[in-house]
Structure 1
Amino acid sequence: MTLALLCSGQGLQNREMFRLLATEPDAQPVFEAATAVLGTHPTDFCRTAPDAALHANREGQILCVTRALATARALFPNGASNETMVAGYSVGEMAAWGVAGIWSPMDTFKLVDQRARAMDAAGGPDDGLGYVRGLPQMAVEQLATRFGCAIAIVNPDLLFIVGGDRRSIDALCAAALEEGAARAAPMMVHVASHTPRLAGAVAPFDKALTSVAMSRPALRLMTASGATLVADPHRAHKGLARQLAERIDWAGMIEALAERGVTAILELGPGRALAEMAAAALPAVSVRAVDDFYSLTGVKAWLAAR
């Protein structure tokens, strides 16, 4: 088996996202590191925080990275095979670098915090993301130009994430439906990630990345910056910083995983969005999400059977 672990982006965080992990002893060091940065234990935060806080940019990023790191530690307490591939979607790539062992959990969370703060400082107060499904890319490009937005992420199966201010996103989605899109709507993300609106966040985040100790990846880490393997994080981190203001080609990432012989994919969550995209794009590959299972025992059994 050649396994790929996919680390999810924000937007699907929820109050039950740590249900399978709360009592897992191997996940506790991750929760402790996250608590030090978030200010509250992630499980308590998800249980008590208002909905707006649950989906705030900084808090959402920290929660999603916590989910991926804690899940990886619980599933692979002695470390995954060094042939395992790992990739992340948007802030999920921060989690992927942590899962690959480039940073300690504490440094990972500190960087996620700095990333989110840089994004909030550079973006507008009404910025956000939306999605359009079922239109050709050229049509979505034209809509984005018309409404002062930009394509943020290209996904498989004609699914595009677009970024801009909320009123423009609303107008773009309405126009997309009029032009025949299967679906289009704003998302619960309050920052225009991966668009030129965040150009001002690149340099501060790059500076933060250079201030933290980095190790060579213990797993086969794929970066969305060109869908390539990271051999030297000291060189690759500039691409990680530029991603804040540059489009991500996730469709290309899925294709690159297939080209490297991936036979099984597990999305660490929260949610199933990446697993659903991968399953549709790679029908010959066995694809699951952690959120498909009732227990981590079930996830481990699925992994063992591959």
Structure 2
Amino acid sequence: MLAIVCPGQGAQKPGFLSPWLELPGAREALGALSEAGEVDLATHGTVSDADTIRDTAVAQPLLVAAGILAADALATQAADGSAAGGVVPGAFAAASPADLLAGHSVGEVTASALAGVLSAADAMRLVAVRSRAMATAAAAEETSMAAVVGGVREEVLAAIEAAGLTPANINSAAQVVAAGSAAGVAALGENPPARARVIPLQVAGAFHTPYMAGAREELAAFAPQLSPAAPSVPLVTNAGGESITDGARYLELIVQQVASPVDWQACMATFAERGVTGILEVNPAGTLTGLAKRELKGVGLQNLNSPDDLEAARAFVEAHAGAAADDGASDGGSSDGAER
């Protein structure tokens, strides 16, 4: 069984779209996504520096477009029979090669397009509103985030609460991201939980906390302009790993998500319960397969970071799509594929 996952903010790197734009049809596809998202994705994905693409209003649309572009390239060869391949917009959503789809934070918007819940254009419209609203909310107060790695979960959560913070991302059994006031994050770093490290994150604000209430309201006002469809395959959400099959439920949860915790550990638990044998992460890949490597032992992992990965990724899809767990979780996967 194949899960395809989409990374969240922070995964972007300068120039990471450059090799993709060499594929036939890629520039045209990216141009359409840029128009819908009202941002110059070609420039930001090829020549903009790290500080520029760290901006929430740039990073989020860039990540959604990158995932859509890579997924459509993955599915194009099967869709058109072309040996050379390329990018056919909508090829992935039409082919539905995954058994499950999921995304971390803004990656859930990418996943909605791949599942056909939203058109690619509507996904870009949604992320444009989301990113600008979150950037505005982040600028209203001095807030921050920090990863808490290690420790005992109950003690970690107690320390986060004692510092007046929120567990904004529950990423794995060993990692929780705390968020809230800059002073609270600093205090947590000065008095970390036992056997845990507190690592400050270079982010614009306390995402997925009550500090984002204004962004949630703005997104709620925009959501009725969208016409969601039922996903082509179950979409596993950050809301406790809930698997949805209804487009209206997706919109409800994605609106709530900006001011609510992202529970990626619960998503991985759902993968395990469903018998996932392989996880493929779309561009820019590595963060989520890295978490799965530690959390889901024996599951095959594959990153899709550049067109050079397409052949291996297609073989991985063929090996895992529709496969039962007892077929051998490691078939078609490799540690090399997970670590590139």
TM-score by length of 2: 0.81
Residues 83 and 220, structure 1, Cα contact 8 Å, conserved in 2: no
Runs of 5+ consecutive residues of structure 2 not aligned to the other structure: 80-91, 320-331, 333-340
User: Is 2:112 the counterpart of 1:97?
Assistant: yes
Q: Report whether the alignment pairs 1:142 with 2:158.
A: yes
5 Å-filtered alignment, 1:64-75, equals 64-75=63-74
1:184 and 2:183 correspond? no
User: Does 2:224 align with 1:210?
Assistant: yes
Instruction: Give the direction of change, closer, same or farther, for the CA distance of 1:271–1:257 in structure 2 (3 Å limit).
Output: same
Q: Per-residue deviation at 1:46?
A: 3.5
Partners of 1:89 and 1:231 in 2: CA distance:
18
| TM-aligned CA deviation for residue 112 of structure 1 | 0.3
Identity %: 27
Verify: 1:171 aligned to 2:191, yes or no.
Answer: no
Amino acid at match of 1:87: A
What number of residue pairs does the alignment pair up? 303
CA contact (8 A) 1:154 1:250 kept: yes
Q: Distance in 2 between matches of 1:102 and 1:163?
A: 30
CA contact (8 A) 1:6 1:87 kept: yes
Query: Structure 1 stretch 164-173 or stretch 102-111: which is displaced more?
Result: 164-173
1:199 offset after TM fit, Å?
Answer: 1.8
Of 62, 73, 84, 2:99 maps to: 84
User: Is the alpha carbon distance of 1:84 and 1:15 closer, same or farther for their aligned partners in structure 2, counting shifts above 3 Å?
Assistant: same
Measured in 2, the distance between the counterparts of 1:8 and 1:88 equals 6
* Match in the other structure for 1:154: 170
Where do residues 288-299 of structure 1 align in structure 2 (5 Å cutoff)?
A: 288-291=302-305, 294-299=308-313
What is the CA-CA distance between 1:41 and the residue it aligns to? 4.0
Map residues 218-229 of structure 1 onto 2, 5 A cutoff. 218-229=232-243
Gaps of 5+ in 1: none
Which stretch shifts more, 285-294 or 263-272?
285-294
Of 120, 124, 133, the residue aligned with 2:149 is: 133
Counterpart residue identity of residue 155, structure 1: N
Match of 1:22 in 2: 21
Q: 2:146·2:179 contact (CA, 8 Å) conserved in 1?
A: yes
Q: Which residue of 2 aligns with 1:267?
A: 281
**1:203 positional shift:** 2.2
How big is the shift at 1:38? Answer: 5.4
- CA spacing shift, 1:83–1:99, aligned 2, 3 Å: closer
Instruction: Select the structure of larger CA radius of gyration.
Output: 2
The one-letter amino acid paired with 2:15 is E
